[in-house]
Amino acid sequence: MRRGSDNVFLGYLGENFSTTGTFDTGVGYGPLRSNTTGADNTAMGANNLGLNTTGAENTAVGVGACLSNTTGTGHTCFGYDSDVVGQNLHNATAIGAHATVKVSDAIVLAALPA
């Protein structure tokens, strides 16, 4: 971590580029590694919220969870490769392996294999 305050990171490459991000928590390999000003984020697992730059109030649990989010806020991704896809979305929730949300204010549950 370069700057920011009240952040906690455990693992390699955690919040590597933060300038003013605050109250962020990351555990694992590369959580919030691209974060610059995003605040109040929690990432648990490898590469979680790894592309997040300014997004805030996001929670990601599971390998690769919420990896695509860059600027969105209020997201919850729970499960392997669960993600929120699209710019400036808010309050999107993806639950289960490979669940993907593409609109704001929505919940997507992962589909069972056929």
Amino acid letter, 9: F
Query: Is the distance from CB of 38 to CB of 23 less than 8 angstroms?
Result: no
pLDDT of residue 113 exceeding 90: no
Note the pLDDT tens digit of each residue in 47-86: 999 999 999 999 999 999 999 999 999 999 999 999 999 8
According to DSSP, the residues that pair with 77 across neighbouring strands are 60, 94
Q: What is the pLDDT of residue 1?
A: 45
Q: What is the pLDDT of residue 84?
A: 96
Question: What CATH number has the domain bearing residue 29?
Answer: 2.150.10
SS3 61: strand
**What range defines the domain where residue 102 resides?**
1-114
- How many domains would you assign to the chain? 1
Q: What is the pLDDT of residue 91?
A: 98
Distance (Å, whole) CA 20 – CA 90 = 21
pTM, whole model, 2 decimals?
0.91
